[in-house]
Structure 1
Amino acid sequence: MPEVAAEPGLVVEEPGTGFCGAVIRCEAGTVTLEDRFGKHRVFPLEPRGFLLEGRVVTLVRPSAAPVRPTRTASGSVAVPAARARVARAGRIYVEGRHDAELVERVWGDDLRVEGVVVEYLEGIDDLPAVVDEFGPGPDARLGVLVDHLVPGTKESRIAQAVTSGYALVVGHPYIDVWEAVKPASVGIPGWPRVPRGEDWKTGVCRALGWPENTGAAWERILGSVRSYRDLEPELLGRVEELIDFVTTPE
């Protein structure tokens, strides 16, 4: 029965609850774990109480308080001096430039380690032709992130048409990726409702009393994002799902 020091950053699973997270604190008799979404759970340090890479282990309190490892913006433990991997044949496509910049801001370090390139489409109307040209296969998986993917929409019909064993289309419910940034992080009470028929981004600027310059507004929003904690779970889960899909071998 191996004993493992509960060093900060160690990722383990508590099998009774299925909760998986990184150690952030270890005190007398307990360990605190943090999952990808920032949720904390405290568990007792019981014999054979955790799984580490599928092995049953006993966590023990570290002999000394080490320096906590640096985390990437996505919440992953940073790999010291990690070199970017040669790009995979697989890709992740997102709808527009803002989506790509937000994914880079939070998951950029992880994507470089995994060798995953993110490209943007400028909308998804031509997605079926893009997927046909890409030709997804066992060694070249394709993941696509779509805005406002809700049942009955044009986006949902296009997504259904191109989804296959090697092409995965997922989405968030927001009209635009701006809404996936938590209002509190931006310093606003909430994302305003914009009347139907009005340009959404311009309407947001107008309702918030910002200059009607959507480029400047986006710079303000993106600048408020420092880590995954600034994003809504509905986006976090979908991007993680795409990264897992593209990097999972056949």
Structure 2
Amino acid sequence: MTVTWEELGWERLAPGVGRCRLPVWDCTVGLVVGAGAALVVDAGSSLAEGARLRTRAQALTGDRVTHLALTHPHFDHVLGAAAFAGTEVYGAVGVDALLGSRHGREEIRADAVRHGLPEPSATEAAETLVPPRHHVSGEWTLDLGSGCQVLLANVGPGHTAHDLAVLVPGDPEVVFCGDLVEESGEPQAGPDAVPSHWPDALDRLLSLGGEDALYVPGHGAVVDAAFVRAQRDALAARFGVSG
């Protein structure tokens, strides 16, 4: 009996490509399935959430998760990463230094607790967090088999100093944007944001995906190029960025 994406909690976006919206912080996690390989985009907010994601992904693929891409180093996107032990982990260059330092992990842990994650869960996840092995400084192509190639692109800084986007070619093309794009509320600019470069990062997203792509925000519903362009213009106005 074949189990569908939807039955396992995934929203199918294109052949072999889906996403799910996690509870509490409405964070999006992506899934790209190749031949004997699978890429998860972001890891959830805790070890328990990461483990549930990995189980749901493997139930769908019938195989193990082989790759994990972290779009940026905020707690709701990275604290589940240790549940993906044994995978090849990718992040924008610089994320490795942040996640590999005691100070960086403590900042992530404290931010998670401020946002309501129980302190024991936040502490456990932060203490086991390891930096990505693969550091993307420009673009990196992953071959997931049977012609399924995924492009990882360092498009930041913007929402943070280390923003990674994931482009899945196809019909339609799908772009996982991380929190460079948010649909369920106004984009959040915390102390690690780089507002002067954020509109440029969205221009790079648009150049990657083009007019007909599906753009998957870090939070909220899937959007189109017109939405990304409007958010780019709103951010430029909000932060006084010209061009």
Please give the TM-score of this superposition, normalised by the length of structure 1.
0.25
Structure showing greater Rg? 1
